[in-house]
Amino acid sequence: AQTVTQSQPEMSVQEAETVTLSCTYDTSESDYYLFWYKQPPSRQMILVIRQEAYKQQNATENRFSVNFQKAAKSFSLKISDSQLGDAAMYFCAYRIHQGGSEKLVFGKGTKLTVNP
């Protein structure tokens, strides 16, 4: 069964500095998608970044980038120049195809605090 593990329940970073959130996953598939979602206190789920497993190049979205290590099944999120608005729960997720549909399997989340 596919599982997603986030080993850091909480992380903190100083404003303007860089922080890396870790995620590992388990799968026997070769083609898949990985995602990072942000959930601020408003509880809205916001897609931060996605990575296609068949692409070797790491995805980037402005201050957010990933380090995707397919062989190690590792998918970490780097946030550069951290801002107060980055404070939130961050969830790593893996997309699974099932019966003509798909579902997201989430890790347990990392709570990120940004200190001014």
Partner 1 sequence: DTAVSQTPKYLVTQMGNDKSIKCEQNLGHDTMYWYKQDSKKFLKIMFSYNNKELIINETVPNRFSPKSPDKAHLNLHINSLELGDSAVYFCASSPKTLQLRAYNEQFFGPGTRLTVL
Which positions lie near partner 1, rule CB under 8 A? 31, 33, 39, 42-45, 47, 50, 52, 54, 89, 91, 97-106, 108-109
CA–CA separation, 53 and 32 (whole Å)? 5
Provide, rounded to whole angstroms, the least separation between the CB of residue 104 and partner 1.
6
Nearer to partner 1, 78 or 95 (CB): 95
Provide, rounded to whole angstroms, the least separation between the CB of residue 79 and partner 1.
19
Provide, rounded to whole angstroms, the least separation between the CB of residue 23 and partner 1.
14
Q: Find out whether 107 and 5 touch, Cβ atoms under 8 Å.
A: yes
Give how far Cα 13 sits from Cα of 1, 30, 50, 81, Å: 33, 34, 23, 10
Nearer to partner 1, 50 or 80 (CB): 50
Nearer to partner 1, 54 or 63 (CB): 54
